[in-house]
Amino acid sequence: MFWVFKFKNVVKVLVAIIAVITVTVTAAVGQSVTAANYGVRKLPVYGVDRGDKTVALTFDAAWGADKTDKILEILDEYGAKATFFLVGFWLDDYPDEVKKIDAAGHEIGNHSKNHLNMSGLDKSEQVKEITSVNEQIKNLTGKTPRFFRPPFGDYNNSLIESVEQQSMIAVQWSVDSLDWKGLSAAQIADRVLAKVTDGSIILCHNNSDHIVEALPLILIGLENKGYKPVTMSELVYTENYSIDNNGIQHLNNQGKQEE
């Protein structure tokens, strides 16, 4: 009886081991199938491996414009360049501001037509959200945007592909000022300056509560740290590059990008 009991226990153990192996193999195969079906996840540019103390100061504009003139004045005072990501209905409401931004030597990027969660749209809708704003900006400035920033930072592979089909580059940010949360000017500046590194993309908003007071503090702090604010076109590589798993863009072969 002892041997029979022991043998039955051994059989049970073996069956359990086989079941675990089966589940593990099935899961592994399932993961492989999933990877094969969905492919590698595409990423926008969150930051750039530069090493030359350049950063991009960016402003999203979707609601309101009463602070935009002052922002332009401050940028000019400190000799800084920025990129403004504009939404379609903002372009409709403030065409003169768009022209002022362009005339001041700043770059204009595309922030979609309706500021929707783009990953929830089908591909044709995504393309329409992008191309309609490109047309608006070109009509006002004569220039077609090179960069697209997804509203809410929301994207999927389909959106990145839609952007690439327009010969554009999707970008996010690596430093969020959180100016939209009602932080004080000092808090906004402290947050930016604590997180900035070479190749950072800094996110601000053109009509946030304390951006006008915070901007000089940010620009003085960047200057003291040796950083130079430039446009996205001056910061981001547009050819011969790769993007790592953290969304950091690297120039391939460490070579110099052709101008």
State the catalytic residues.
60, 205
Q: Given the structure tokens 């011969």, which residue do they identify?
A: 240
- Please say whether the beta carbons of 204 and 210 come within 8 A: no
CA angle, residues 13, 16, 19, in degrees to nearest 5: 155
CA-CA-CA-CA torsion sign (27, 31, 32, 34): positive
- Phi, then psi, of 132 in degrees rounded to 5: -65, -40
Instruction: Give the type of residue at 119.
Output: S
Letter for the amino acid at 98? V
d(CA 209, CA 213): 9
Query: Which value, to the nearest 10 degrees, does the dihedral of the CA atoms of residues 65, 70, 76, 82 take?
Result: -40
Pick the closest to residue 161 from 121, 200, 199, 201 (CA basis): 121
Measure the CA–CA gap between 80 and 72, rounded to whole angstroms.
9
- Dihedrals phi, psi of 26, to nearest 5 degrees: -60, -40
Question: How many C-beta atoms lie closer than 10 Å to residue 27's C-beta?
Answer: 10
Give the C-alpha separation, 205 to 253, whole Å: 35
The SS3 of residue 201 is strand
